[in-house]
């Protein structure tokens, strides 16, 4: 049987070997040296009759500046290219171009201290969750060089990726604390823009002020703004104004998370106030309202398997409130919180409207309408706590306005 011949190109000249290892087109390797932990390779472009970019006339070399670029590590050794550039002069006296430096984006982009392939690698790595500082250490370069490359190439990737964003009818705005800086920990906020329909992050705006956020939304193409049916926001007046001004036809929706957060804060505030009125001091361990503080947070309809003992918890909460909340104020606040939670779980629009009318809204005028106790102005009279506690699983929407 005839043995198949395996052929491979063999390079024997050291320059040829290094050129192939470096693997850049139209580049000549001038020198290699090891300086401490870093390998340094001197390179230059192969230029044949370079022409002026303006008049296409002949040029002559004026200078050979050397610029250092960080490249990908080779065999675990961080590499630096010392690119001996060509600064050229146009020989035509009429040409407005005097001098120019020849570059090559295949080697490195303008204003970037990393080679193109190192910059692309950085973008991929940061995209997969690695830190800039870690990559800077791997490449033996500065944090700033890696970050600049990331910004320059990342922007290009985002611009080129036109299929990243899907069509949407709902955009959400939310603020995020981005940075605390300086001796006084000055807070810097950013605005997160989300595609609520496709659960996708669209953009991050480095401020939460009206002009910038409104400009972002205003700058979106007409087919995006025109199709927008819902603007989702927290309870921020700024974001409300943004949607109101830029997309007035879109329905503004306050998202559930923020509403529930405020409901829980109000409930907790009520609990602490009642505690102070009843006992004259803040909650201490062993006191009924203090014991009830975590039970108040748990949603009556929670499906968490750890809350299987729901009826017992409910009975315990009722008992604690009967002891620590004789006027039923905390029970009322709890009922409102539960009604809001139930309202957000309702998928039937009519039932939701009914819950809204009967439960949430009516509770507020009711509490205001009840005459305060003259001895304790913050207390509300004529309230039966047991009648307000409708929090069993599957219960009807609670009648919060129990005085009816
Ligand atoms: Zn010229």
CA dist 212 and 62 (Å) reads 46
CA dist 387 and 332 (Å) reads 10
CA dist 81 and 31 (Å) reads 10
User: For residue 104, how far is its CA from the centre of ligand 1 (angstroms)?
Assistant: 19
Supply 65's token pair. Answer: 């500046």
CA dist 400 and 404 (Å) reads 9
Paired strand residues for 82 = 42, 68
3-state secondary structure of 274: helix
User: For residue 99, how far is its CA from the centre of ligand 1 (angstroms)?
Assistant: 9
* H/E run at residue 365: helix 362-369
Supply 144's token pair. Answer: 């700033």
CB proximity list for 371: less than 8 A, separation 6 or greater: 381
User: For residue 93, how far is its CA from the centre of ligand 1 (angstroms)?
Assistant: 8
Q: What is the per-residue pLDDT for 149?
A: 93
* H/E run at residue 242: helix 237-246
User: For residue 272, how far is its CA from the centre of ligand 1 (angstroms)?
Assistant: 80
User: For residue 30, how far is its CA from the centre of ligand 1 (angstroms)?
Assistant: 29
User: For residue 227, how far is its CA from the centre of ligand 1 (angstroms)?
Assistant: 51
User: For residue 62, how far is its CA from the centre of ligand 1 (angstroms)?
Assistant: 14
User: For residue 103, how far is its CA from the centre of ligand 1 (angstroms)?
Assistant: 17
User: For residue 102, how far is its CA from the centre of ligand 1 (angstroms)?
Assistant: 14
User: For residue 95, how far is its CA from the centre of ligand 1 (angstroms)?
Assistant: 4
User: For residue 59, how far is its CA from the centre of ligand 1 (angstroms)?
Assistant: 8
User: For residue 6, how far is its CA from the centre of ligand 1 (angstroms)?
Assistant: 52
User: For residue 56, how far is its CA from the centre of ligand 1 (angstroms)?
Assistant: 6
Q: What is the per-residue pLDDT for 399?
A: 34
Q: What is the per-residue pLDDT for 123?
A: 93
Q: What is the per-residue pLDDT for 202?
A: 87
* H/E run at residue 214: helix 210-218
User: For residue 100, how far is its CA from the centre of ligand 1 (angstroms)?
Assistant: 10
Q: What is the per-residue pLDDT for 22?
A: 82
User: For residue 60, how far is its CA from the centre of ligand 1 (angstroms)?
Assistant: 11
Q: What is the per-residue pLDDT for 378?
A: 36
Q: How many CB atoms lie within 10 A of CB 126?
A: 19
CA dist 118 and 96 (Å) reads 35
Supply 306's token pair. Answer: 């750890």
pLDDT (tens digit, 0 to 9) for every residue of the chain, 404 residues total? 667 777 777 778 877 787 888 888 888 888 889 988 899 999 999 988 889 989 998 999 999 999 999 999 988 899 999 999 999 999 998 999 889 998 888 899 888 999 999 999 999 999 899 999 999 999 999 999 999 999 999 888 878 877 777 788 899 999 999 889 999 999 999 999 999 888 888 889 999 999 999 999 998 888 788 888 999 988 888 999 999 999 999 999 888 888 888 889 999 999 999 888 888 888 788 888 888 888 888 776 666 666 556 677 777 888 888 887 878 888 888 888 888 888 888 888 887 777 666 656 555 444 433 333 333 433 333 333 333 333 333 333 333 333 32
Strand order in the sheet with 170-181: 200-205, 186-195, 170-181, 230-233, 251-254
CA dist 278 and 358 (Å) reads 30
Q: What is the per-residue pLDDT for 245?
A: 93
User: For residue 63, how far is its CA from the centre of ligand 1 (angstroms)?
Assistant: 17
Among residues 59, 58, 55, 61, which one has the least CA distance to residue 95? 55
User: For residue 106, how far is its CA from the centre of ligand 1 (angstroms)?
Assistant: 24
Q: How wide is the angle at C-alpha 339 spanned by C-alphas 173 and 228, nearest 5°?
A: 25
Q: What is the per-residue pLDDT for 357?
A: 66
Spatial contact of 232 and 212, defined as CB atoms under 8 Å apart: no
């Amino acid at each position: 049987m005839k043995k198949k011949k395996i052929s491979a190109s063999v390079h024997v000249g050291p320059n040829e070997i290094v050129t192939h290892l470096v693997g850049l087109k139209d580049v000549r390797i001038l020198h290699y040296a090891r300086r401490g932990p870093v390998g340094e390779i001197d390179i230059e472009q192969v230029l044949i009759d370079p022409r002026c970019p303006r008049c296409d006339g002949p040029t002559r070399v004026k200078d050979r500046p050397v610029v250092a670029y960080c490249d990908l590590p080779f065999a675990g050794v961080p590499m630096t290219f010392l690119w001996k550039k060509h600064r050229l002069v146009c020989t035509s006296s009429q040409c407005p171009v005097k001098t120019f430096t020849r570059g090559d984006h295949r080697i490195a982009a303008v204003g970037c201290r990393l080679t193109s392939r190192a910059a692309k690698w950085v973008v991929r790595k940061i995209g997969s969750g690695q830190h800039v500082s870690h990559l800077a250490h791997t490449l033996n370069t500065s944090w700033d060089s890696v970050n600049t490359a990331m910004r320059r190439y990342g922007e290009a990737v985002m611009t080129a990726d036109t299929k990243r964003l899907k069509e949407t009818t709902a955009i959400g705005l939310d603020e995020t604390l981005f940075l605390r800086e300086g001796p006084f920990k000055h807070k810097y906020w950013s605005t997160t823009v989300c595609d609520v329909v496709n659960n996708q992050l669209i953009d991050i705006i480095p401020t939460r002020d009206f002009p910038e956020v409104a400009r972002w939304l205003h700058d979106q193409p007409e087919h995006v703004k025109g199709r927008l049916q819902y603007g989702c926001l927290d309870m921020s007046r700024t974001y409300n104004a943004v949607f109101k001004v830029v997309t007035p036809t879109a329905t503004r929706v306050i998202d559930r998370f923020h509403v529930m957060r405020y409901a829980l804060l109000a409930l907790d505030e009520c609990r602490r106030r009642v505690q102070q009125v009843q006992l004259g001091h803040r909650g201490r361990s062993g006191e009924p309202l203090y014991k009830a503080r975590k039970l108040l947070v748990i949603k009556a309809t929670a499906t968490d398997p750890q809350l299987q003992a729901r009826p017992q918890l409910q009975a315990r909460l009722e008992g604690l409130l009967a002891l620590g909340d004789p006027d039923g104020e905390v029970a009322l606040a709890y009922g409102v919180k539960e009604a809001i939670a139930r309202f957000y779980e309702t998928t039937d629009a009519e039932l939701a409207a009914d819950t809204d009318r009967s439960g949430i809204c009516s509770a507020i005028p009711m509490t205001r309408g009840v005459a305060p106790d003259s001895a304790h102005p913050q207390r509300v009279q004529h309230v039966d706590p047991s009648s307000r506690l409708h929090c069993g699983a599957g219960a009807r929407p609670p009648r919060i306005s129990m005085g009816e």
